[in-house]
Amino acid sequence: MEYYLVKWKGWPDSTNTWEPLQNLKCPLLLQQFSNDKHNYLSQVNKGKAISLKDNNKALKPAVAEYIVKKAKQRVALQRWQDELNRRKNHKGMIFVENTVDLEGPPSDFYYINEYKPAPGISLVNEATFGCSCTDCFFEKCCPAEAGVLLAYNKNQQIKIPPGTPIYECNSRCQCGPDCPNRIVQKGTQYSLCIFRTSNGCGWGVKTLVKIKRMSFVMEYVGEVITSEEAERRGQLYDNKGITYLFDLDYESDEFTVDAARYGNVSHFVNHSCDPNLQVFNVFIDNLDTRLPRIALFSTRTINAGEELTFDYQMKGSGDISSDSVDHSPAKKRVRTVCKCGAVTCRGYLN
């Protein structure tokens, strides 16, 4: 007869008991146990003509250790997922998935919904004026006051070329929350999944629903630091082979967004030389041109289950239309090999 060693929830290990299958009323746990065992044996026996059927009387210690680690990882990722959804302030749900390895939640990452200014940096988040439109599509609205076109069509899709700023209605405007010129400020509307990639790129983000082309997907947020501080941190990040620095150089080069420790879902979005997301500068309540908000829009229809990516140099589909606008992350000193796998891959991230 098969027996299972059971750890009873809320009780110490000294009270663990061996139970026959008929005593176990936990089909999900048993299925996870079986799947984890099968996955481990599949990895170990990869390329070998060995049956996965385990005829031993007991599990080998390595198999048991893997199953326990996988169970603990599953609990940790579920707790992290719950925490992310408690902290986020947008409609779209956040899911977490790792079917690749035993990596758990990042230990030094804090979820935020908007820019976090570093000490000494002031973010003035209050507009001094707003529109009085009854219909922002047909009247002289905030974009017109700024000398640009309204960014969206009636299907909430962006219609301006990359490199053109977006001016949305703000807290001083008399139009309501259903105004067609309030898109980025409503946050992510899609359910997204932070998942462990199988190509060595660490964590990535995929959409769980279909996203229409030219639609707002998410903001890139993090800690706002000076460019001098970004240069210092950049050298540290280079040594680790990571980069989360994004220059806010729409009109000047004073500030950088660092999403290494503080960020949202965009922290986990990977680079691609052929991306499906494009960066736009956005101004809402803060009209300081040195501090635009960074929004990511889809460049094409993105199907459910597809990974979301953007070009860290912004040279992919949808080239920057103005030489004066450079959205690229802070310049790095060590060349990082690109693993995006695109036909047009440049070979390096920088």
Residue numbers in the known binding site for Zn(2+) are 131, 133, 136, 141-142, 169, 173, 175, 179, 273, 338, 340, 345
- Kindly report the backbone phi and psi dihedral angles of residue 292, in degrees, each rounded to the nearest multiple of 5, phi listed first: -70, 150
Separation of CA 211 from chain center: 15
Residue ranges of the annotated binding site are 131, 133, 136, 141-142, 169, 173, 175, 179, 273, 338, 340, 345
Please give the DSSP secondary-structure letter assigned to residue 306: P
Separation of CA 91 from chain center: 15
| 205's tokens | 């983000």
d(CA 79, CA 104): 11
- HSE at residue 283, side-chain half, CA atoms within 13 A, is 25
Helix axes 61-87, 27-44, angle to 10 degrees: 120
d(CA 237, CA 242): 5
Q: State the catalytic residues.
A: 220, 312
Residue in the structure block whose two tokens are 């030219």: 214
